[in-house]
Structure 1
């Protein structure tokens, strides 16, 4: 079965499993739907505003702010207006030492095995430590894109300096998710996978709740708690994103696109498109085509 919600893209290379993604969004249409991956992801907003939902909690990332996404956490990212943000994505195993020593046991292994988690938002840190963390993140981004001599070694050293700071100030959090909680979360990921595969078809709450072995009412409550929106809102938003892809990549009539992504009511599609994107579908297509030309 396809695992659409589980990002399995290779980040970096086999000998240096870290990649920095820098994205400039001109029109404020950037959106990555709920997904998860094994890699750690550190996001920094250089300018503009990002809305993030991580483990069901919503955050606004303002210019100069950063956040941490732990391995396996469901998350989505959306831009608000023009923005430039950077994501440092790396495999936790990247931190391991070949020789198992006291540093590995006390500081690295608790991070790579998920016993300790990074706090999500930069407000968890003192103002002085925020400046230090931001300094290291900016250095990592610059080193990755310019690749001076010893860049790879320098990147790893900056990450280790950040981890040292986290331990010194006791910022890392204990992972308190129970085995029952992990099981429920895994079932929720199966629900997202189901939506990603079957978005073009009719999807009932009964079908989704049965995947989680929950009643429809409890499922809706649990879904909103973990995802930050209702199942219906999530389905509509994902369908709109698929419509955006088709508007950008094809000349298909808008009414046909609406049907192909699961909307059987064209007026409802137009209303939802405006709600999520702030413009009508034809305007979106025009803006994206102009962006590609430029």
Structure 2
């Protein structure tokens, strides 16, 4: 489960938006149920999806499906466009059931980073993204129809021309708004208090649940226990500090809420497979080369 749950402000009648961000704007790890495409229009951007770091350069992009944990680090002298849309936008077409697999399955099975796509497909998608941006910026008469048409064209390219993926079943069912909001309340509580000791009973109280019911609720809707989530949350916070600051490991352990440095080392290695400083040096070397992150 993600660091925190985001609710993009999309119009229910037209669930789409495009955001312009420069390199000074970073986003900590989060997730949302909407689809997202990040297109680099200038410079280089350091980001990650589901704990896979990557550096993208101009005219490269990444597809982020609903539920993916993603973040963007400080990337000086860069610019990016962020496209977000809900799959309900295509409900009128989806009901026809004229494809061998669903949109959820399509987005779940493609390689997310365009770096690994065929150059001709990458170029075609970039042209579509540029048209999407221009339609939203100029907002000439009929622009809403143009935007939906362009998104449908983009999806058609994914269905017909991406020949390097194998469709697979997506078992996760979409959560109701109520459940998402309840989970968000828990995540926000953890975000505010993770630097201090947190008891299971404290988290359960946020939703008015007994510890026993909360344990079952959280495990059912996240696939893991609250304690496991809390430890992973703190580890993710530590990773963020490791890649963006120069604090000693002992200080980082305390900053993210671990009472014992020994426990922090053990859980970090169990989660990531390597020690904290090894993670920092290998991530910088492998993912970002010589660029400053």
Give the TM-score normalised by structure 2: 0.61
| Structure that is richer in strand per residue | 1
**Corresponding residue of 1:24:** 22
**Corresponding residue of 2:149:** 157
**Corresponding residue of 1:283:** none
**Corresponding residue of 2:269:** none
Preserved contact between residue 143 and residue 155 of structure 1 (Cα < 8 Å): yes
Cα deviation, residue 124, structure 1: 3.3
Cα deviation, residue 145, structure 1: 1.1
- The superposition leaves residues 208-257 of structure 1 with CA deviations (integer Å, 9 ceiling, x where unpaired) of xx9844998xx97xx5xxx9x944614747998xxxxxxxxxxxxxxxxx
* Count of matched residue positions in the alignment of Structure 1 and Structure 2: 220
Q: 1:120-131 residue pairs with structure 2 within 5 A?
A: 120-131=112-123
Q: 1:131 to 1:99 in 2, by over 3 A?
A: closer
Q: 1:143 to 1:48 in 2, by over 3 A?
A: same
**Corresponding residue of 1:289:** none
Distance between the aligned counterparts of 2:159 and 2:76, measured in 1? Answer: 36
Q: 1:100 to 1:192 in 2, by over 3 A?
A: closer
Unaligned runs of at least 5 residues, structure 2: 173-179, 200-214, 246-253, 259-279, 281-293
Unaligned runs of at least 5 residues, structure 1: 180-185, 205-209, 241-258, 264-274, 276-294
**Corresponding residue of 2:13:** 15
**Corresponding residue of 1:65:** 60
Q: 1:52-201 residue pairs with structure 2 within 5 A?
A: 52-97=47-92, 100-101=95-96, 105-107=97-99, 110-111=102-103, 114-117=104-107, 118-171=110-163, 173-175=166-168, 195-201=190-196
Cα deviation, residue 123, structure 1: 2.4
Distance between the aligned counterparts of 2:149 and 2:62, measured in 1? Answer: 20
Distance between the aligned counterparts of 1:155 and 1:100, measured in 2? Answer: 20
Give the TM-score normalised by structure 1: 0.61
Task: Select between 90-99 and 76-85 the one with higher mean Cα deviation.
Answer: 90-99
**Corresponding residue of 2:5:** 6
Preserved contact between residue 4 and residue 187 of structure 2 (Cα < 8 Å): yes
RMSD across aligned positions (CA): 4.4
SS of 2:74 mapped into structure 1: strand
